[in-house]
Amino acid sequence: MSDEVEKSLPVKVQLPVYGVALFSNSVPDLVLVVMGLWLVELETPLILIGLLIGLRYAGPLLFAIHGGAMMDRIGTRRVLKFVAMVMLIFPFLYPVSPWIPAIMALQLICGLADSLGWVGAQTLTGQVLRGNPTYTGRLVFATRIGTFAGPPLAGIAWDLFLPWGGFAALGVWGAGLLISVLALPEKALSPPTEHRQSIFKSVMPRLVDYIEAIKLFAIPLMALVLAMTIIRQLGSGMQSAFYAVYLEGIGMSGFLIGILVSANGLMGIAALGSGPLVKKISEFKLLVWCIVISIISIAIVPLFTNFIPLFVSSSVRGAVMAISVVIIVSLIARTVGSTVQGRAMGLRTTCNQAANVMIPIIMGGLADFFGLEMAFYIVGIMGVGITLIVAFAARNVETPPI
């Protein structure tokens, strides 16, 4: 598939897709730095920090499938333009709204927007990049560029200008997404499935979209990949909720916290090796071990108080996370038809967000009861155990050819 497919996709078609991925997927890494520091400055209790971080993923949990279905119906580019405008404007409302109810509302809105941006990037993986692991590896590498560059910039902006600087960095990412969306070539996109429906009817949630998406669980490989998606987020939930809180507690500056988060992006170059790797190693086995290592690398963070081991741990996590997302997105794109790519990626995002909503809240409760360090260890042990159980139960599931 590779040589012929790569020649058929010009660079000018590929680059905007990679831009959409870069500026959507890496937003949570900037949020990790900015929101962690913002909530600490507001002297927010740990359990409430967990709730507020978890709320950012509540909207995607409920509406990611609907967002994916809208992309199938009225066009991915059209939906992404609206999402980018929200991501550009709304971060500037945080510094003028330092009240818990206002932060809750902003977390719901902004979390849905940046999540739908990543749903759009994954949808484009199937619609434009055709699920090819080589292209998907490049796309994931692009997200890691954002993860590498964004958190230090957000940290520096915070150190220099406090909340206004940190949240302005989020607005810059929204602008980058808008520019990338506008550069998407119309001819390369799958045509909308609805041409004559009114815009009001097209954007209203439909029960049938959720039913069609949930039916994808009937495909054994999809069920397995989605289960692994949920488990993989146990580590991400730990990181997004309390990584910056822990680092701030041991005296790290906003800049150093940003560097440690960006180490995920530095090692995202591993995504470029995903294509060759899956030709030599079973995709399923590679996915399992990547998830196990990614969970362990974040769960052991409280063992360290010095920068170097923390940087190594974050780098290892970045490498295996990059490879695992390439495998997951490629498998989904190759398993479902082109007319349901948006729904499929929306379902994957829903599974992601289910974990992202629960883990910060669970960790907040564990941290209040057992202490923050023990909360990392408990969730880590639970994540590794579940991964190995699911892997053993699904060891005979076959993957589609590349």
Which ranges in 239-306 belong to alpha helices (H)?
A: 244-249, 254-266, 274-280, 283-299
pLDDT at 281: 79
The whole-number pLDDT of residue 341 equals 67
Handedness of CA 347, 348, 351, 352 (dihedral sign): negative
pLDDT, position 199: 56
pLDDT of res. 293: 93
Interatomic CA distance for residues 273 and 22, integer angstroms: 18
Total count of domains within the chain: 1
- The verdict on residue 107 lying in a domain is yes
CB 127 within 8 A of CB 332: no
- For CA atoms 154, 155, 159, 160, the dihedral sign is negative
Ramachandran assignment for 132, one of left (phi > 0), alpha (psi -120 to 50 degrees), beta (any other): beta
Q: State the SS3 of 1-28.
A: CHHHHHHHCCHHHHHHHHHHHHHHHCHH
> Are the CB atoms for 210 and 343 separated by under 8 Å?
no
Whether 1 is in a domain gets the answer no
Tell whether 402 is covered by a domain.
Answer: no
Q: Burial of 44 by CB count in 10 Å (0-12 exposed, 13-18 middle, 19+ buried)? A: middle
CATH at 214: 1.20.1250.20
Residues 6+ apart with CB under 8 A from 129: 9, 14, 17, 135, 136, 139, 333
3 falls within a domain: no
Q: What are 238's two structure tokens?
A: 């730990």
Mean pLDDT by 10 residues, the chain (402 residues): 53 86 88 86 84 81 80 82 93 91 91 87 77 77 83 89 92 94 76 58 72 80 84 80 82 83 74 74 85 92 90 89 84 72 76 78 83 89 90 73 60
- Cα(103)–Cα(107) distance, integer angstroms: 6
pLDDT of residue 227: 86
pLDDT score for 401 = 58
* DSSP, res 243: I
Length in residues, the chain: 402
The overall longest dimension of the chain from CA atoms, in Å, is 60
DSSP 57: T
Taking the CA atoms of 292, 295, 300 and 304 in sequence, report the sign of the dihedral they define.
positive
Is there a domain that residue 94 lies in? yes
**Do 277 and 286 contact (CB within 8 A), yes or no?**
yes
Domain assignment of residue 196, yes or no: no
Which two structure tokens, joined as six digits, stand for 79? 């939906």
Residue 164 lies in a domain: yes
Q: Tell me the C-alpha distance between 65 and 1, whole Å.
A: 30
Domain that holds residue 352: 9-188+206-393
Give the pLDDT of residue 202: 61
146 occurs within a structural domain: yes
Contacts of residue 38, defined as CB under 8 A and 6 or more positions apart, other chains included, come to 94, 163, 166
Residue 253 DSSP SS3: coil
* Per-residue pLDDT, 106: 92
